[in-house]
Amino acid sequence: MRRWKRWRVRSSSHGLLILTRSKPMPKVASWSVWMPTPPPSSLTPSRTPPGPIPTGWEVSTLGEDYNLTMGHSPPGSTYNEVGDGLPFYQGRKDFGFRYPSLRVYCSHPKRLGQKDDNLVSVRAPVGDVNMALDRCCVGRGVAAVRHKTGSRSYTYYSILRLKEVLQRFEKEGTVLGAINKTDFEQLAAVSPNRQIVERFEALVYPIDQLIEANSRQIDSLVNCRDNLLPKLLSGEIRVKNAERFVEGAM
């Protein structure tokens, strides 16, 4: 019998991103993506918000280490639901488990997010994170973020770890919580050297590719179900013809 494995990424007490593999009980194995959690002797004392960091790492800002594009809402006349233009994400209501849902398109986008950019909600609520499956238009409730190395997975898990910090801006707006570009870029960030970022990406990116492939397949199956079920119930198509319909939809 095939023994299924489960993977997840978590954060250690020292801020390192850890990859955990779980097998069916009683065996459980865990290890860090690029190094074990450093002993206290390898940590550099710091009075900065991130606290102690590994020797050789630096405390930076999000603006120094990441490319940030704040969204902007195009004219309402450019919105549509028929697929004309690019996917348009306006805020958290479009967000899913990891990837946003396709509801609205924009024929004349103002600000763009690229495939694999992190999408962060910057207006009430602040701090939710998704990832762009494709090139898209970002509205004023969303910012597109990417580490300057271009690393997709490193960006995602690093920004996820800032969620609690971002959520503090919930009370900053006069009516609705929000974070502006200046405040976003000034957020403190732990900055490992490029070799560590690339090593992390090499190990975690293949896992995220599997998550993306599964997500796309789920979306395809949901679309097929939504189109096929009403036709079956209404008698428009018969069960024996359903397979041909599914092949065309997939």
Q: Please check the confidence at residue 151 and state whether its pLDDT lies above 60.
A: yes
Q: Please check the confidence at residue 125 and state whether its pLDDT lies above 80.
A: yes
Q: Where are the domains of the chain?
A: 6-58, 60-191, 209-249
Q: What is the pLDDT of residue 47?
A: 45
Q: What is the pLDDT of residue 98?
A: 95
The dotted CATH code for 60-191 is 3.90.220.20
Which range is least confidently modeled, 16-20, 22-26, 58-62, 229-233?
22-26
Q: What is the pLDDT of residue 248?
A: 61
Where does the pLDDT of residue 229 fall: very low under 50, low under 70, confident under 90, or very high at 90 and above?
confident
**What is the three-class DSSP state of 221?**
helix
Stretch 136-143: mean pLDDT: 96
Percentage of the residues of the chain whose pLDDT score is greater than 70: 74
Which range is least confidently modeled, 61-70, 124-133, 144-153, 233-242?
233-242
Where does the pLDDT of residue 6 fall: very low under 50, low under 70, confident under 90, or very high at 90 and above?
very low
Per-residue pLDDT of 213-223, as tens digits, reads 999 999 889 98
Going by the DSSP 8-state scheme, the letter that residue 205 receives in this structure is H
* Structure token digits, residue 126: 């602040």
Q: What is the pLDDT of residue 2?
A: 45
Q: Is the overall model pTM greater than 0.85, yes or no? A: no
| Mean confidence (pLDDT) of the chain | 81
CA 235 and chain centroid, separation? 41
Exposure string of 80-101, with b = 16+ CB inside 10 Å and e = fewer, is eeeeebbbbbbbbebbeeebbe
